[in-house]
Amino acid sequence: MNRRYPEQTVLVHTSFIAAGERLEVGKRYIVERERPDGTRETTVKTLSRDEDGRLWLMPESTDPRFQAPIPIDDDVEAVVRVVGRVIYSVQRED
């Protein structure tokens, strides 16, 4: 997400589960992916819907390792959990 949030940006987010929110296309979410070997990745992605109605978590990164969209409902590589919705970002002034 370095295209949207430069290094050292602080994100403030809701607790998605506690707030009982519904997913909203175009909003940014804190997402956790857990792979079968137990490794976990926490990231920020933007929710998008394709022409077939499927939901995707879209990256905004300049790093090729983090540019693949993640399907929200049937990721075969990992279990995907939406942890929270980003509500504020704070960036340092130079």
Interval 68-86: pLDDT, tens: 898 887 767 788 999 999 9
Q: In this predicted model, what pLDDT tens digit does every residue of 6-41 receive, in sequence order?
A: 888 999 999 877 767 789 999 999 999 898 899 998
Q: Which domain holds residue 23?
A: 10-90
User: Structurally, how many domains does the chain consist of?
Assistant: 1
CA distance 31 to 94: 29
- What does the chain come to in residues? 94
51, part of any domain: yes
User: What is the helix, strand, coil percentage profile of the chain, to 5?
Assistant: 5, 40, 50
2, part of any domain: no
Q: In 10-78, where do the E strands start and end?
A: 10-13, 28-34, 40-49, 55-58, 70-71
Q: In this predicted model, what pLDDT tens digit does every residue of 42-64 receive, in sequence order?
A: 989 999 999 999 999 999 989 88
pTM, to two decimals:
0.85
45, part of any domain: yes
We report the CATH number of the domain holding residue 38 as 2.10.109.10
1, part of any domain: no
